[in-house]
């Protein structure tokens, strides 16, 4: 048996991105070529843009003038920041919809027409995620109904299973929500002079930061005047059970309780001022979860209403 010498020629840094396939190709070449391999993150063989290569410690050695890479662990690890699991994706889109309107939208030069689709997309995915989990339960009820029908006993039979309630769907959106979400993230990150990782994590567009923390929840009130001049208050509902509103009538009493709603919109149908007169009304909101307030009150939205 031929005796082969083993010689370490180069340590392979843990975070280097050299593809293993490339080493196998270069294994057939000379030692001089091996020493020219780049160990930075400039990959020699293209990978999918959302996949990186990660490993534990490894070394490049020579065995009988032939180079080998000794790798303890080699895995393909996804680096895509967009969640694939539907409930997690719903949280991620909600996080952007919850935290982007207002100061950050202004910072990154998004106008109202840009923000509205973000909110609508998030609401659509949240509705789907909520109703989708009802599918297996609905199927099970039909199975139970069939078993009772065919093999049951007694003198009465159960009612037919009721379908999944989709009678109050969110605003319709166009297909392609994920690509629109990616485009928003690209647009934000493209402003390199002002973009920060902290902002990205807060918005959920950095990998590993897609979850919602209810203890930090702070609603953002959007509004319109509808139904003859009455304020329509709009808040992203997300995972929360209800939204509690308070109102300042500008009467010197400060904020007082107004109402609580389980819907993302609330119309204040309070009596408007007399014809020709106006008043300044202020609103703030806080989320409810599990029958208790969570997070913080929103900033006050001041709305001028007029009698018509």
Of how many residues is the chain composed? Answer: 308
Give the range among 21-30, 94-103, 159-168, 210-219 with minimum mean pLDDT.
21-30
Asked if residue 122 lies in contact with residue 94, where contact means CB atoms within 8 angstroms, the answer is yes
CA 130 to chain centre: 15
Q: What is the pTM of this model?
A: 0.72
Strands, E assignment, 13-157: 51-55, 58-63, 66-71, 74-78
Cα 70 to Cα 58: distance, rounded to the nearest angstrom: 5
Asked if residue 290 lies in contact with residue 241, where contact means CB atoms within 8 angstroms, the answer is yes
pLDDT at 3: 59
At 264-302, the pLDDT tens digits run: 999 999 999 999 899 999 999 999 999 999 999 999 999
Residue with tokens 């307030």: 293
Which has more pLDDT, 177 or 135? 177
pLDDT at 133: 86
Asked if residue 302 lies in contact with residue 280, where contact means CB atoms within 8 angstroms, the answer is yes
Domain boundaries, the chain: 6-78, 86-151+171-203, 214-306
SS3 225: strand
Which has more pLDDT, 49 or 65? 65
| DSSP conformation class of 275 | B
Look up residue 142 and give its two tokens: 């039909």
Asked if residue 254 lies in contact with residue 283, where contact means CB atoms within 8 angstroms, the answer is no
SS3 155: coil
User: Could you count the other beta carbons within 10 Å of the beta carbon of residue 139?
Assistant: 11
CA distances from 277 to 130, 223, 248, 274, 303 (A): 45, 21, 18, 5, 14
Asked if residue 257 lies in contact with residue 306, where contact means CB atoms within 8 angstroms, the answer is no
Does the 214-306 domain belong in CATH 3.90.180.10? no
Mean pLDDT, all residues of the chain: 84
At 183-232, the pLDDT tens digits run: 999 999 999 999 999 999 999 999 999 999 999 999 999 999 998 899 99
Q: Which of 2, 8, 39, 10 is nearest to 22 (CA)?
A: 39
pLDDT at 70: 60
Cα 278 to Cα 70: distance, rounded to the nearest angstrom: 78
CA distances from 302 to 226, 247, 305 (A): 16, 10, 10
Q: What is the arithmetic mean of pLDDT over 132-150? A: 92
| 174 contacts: CB under 8 Å, gap ≥ 6 | none
Look up residue 228 and give its two tokens: 């003859």
pLDDT band at 58 (very low <50, low <70, confident <90, very high): low
Asked if residue 212 lies in contact with residue 91, where contact means CB atoms within 8 angstroms, the answer is yes
Give the range among 33-37, 158-162, 225-229 with minimum mean pLDDT.
33-37
Cα 111 to Cα 95: distance, rounded to the nearest angstrom: 18
Q: Which of 26, 25, 34, 28 is nearest to 7 (CA)?
A: 34
Q: Is the pLDDT of residue 93 over 90?
A: yes
């Amino acid at each position: 048996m031929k005796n082969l010498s083993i010689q370490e020629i180069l340590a392979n840094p843990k975070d280097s991105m050299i593809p293993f396939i490339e080493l196998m190709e270069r294994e057939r070449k000379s030692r001089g070529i091996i020493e020219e391999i780049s160990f930075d993150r400039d990959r020699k063989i293209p990978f999918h843009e959302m996949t990186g290569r990660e490993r534990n410690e490894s070394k490049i050695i020579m065995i009988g003038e032939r180079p080998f890479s000794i790798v303890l662990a080699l895995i393909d690890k996804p680096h895509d920041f967009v969640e694939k699991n539907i409930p997690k994706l719903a949280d991620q889109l909600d996080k952007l919809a919850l935290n982007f309107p207002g100061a950050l939208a202004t910072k990154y030069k998004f106008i109202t027409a840009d923000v509205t689709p973000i909110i609508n997309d998030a609401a659509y995915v949240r509705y789907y995620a909520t109703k989708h989990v009802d599918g297996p339960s609905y199927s099970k009820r039909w199975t139970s109904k069939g078993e009772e029908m065919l093999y049951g006993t007694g003198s009465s039979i159960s009612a037919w299973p009721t379908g999944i309630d989709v009678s109050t769907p969110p605003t319709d959106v166009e297909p392609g929500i994920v690509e629109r979400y990616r485009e928003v993230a690209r647009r934000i990150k493209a402003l390199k002079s002002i973009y920060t990782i902290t902002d990205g994590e807060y918005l959920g567009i950095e990998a590993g930061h897609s979850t919602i923390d209810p203890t930090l929840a702070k609603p953002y009130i959007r509004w319109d005047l509808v139904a003859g001049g009455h304020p329509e208050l709009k808040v992203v509902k997300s995972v929360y059970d209800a939204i509690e509103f308070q109102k300042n009538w500008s009467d010197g009493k400060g904020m007082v309780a107004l109402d609580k709603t389980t819907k993302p919109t609330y119309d204040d149908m309070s009596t408007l001022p007399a014809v020709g007169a106006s008043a300044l009304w202020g609103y703030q909101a806080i989320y409810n979860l599990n029958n208790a307030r969570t997070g913080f009150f929103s900033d006050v939205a001041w709305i001028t209403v007029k009698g018509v």
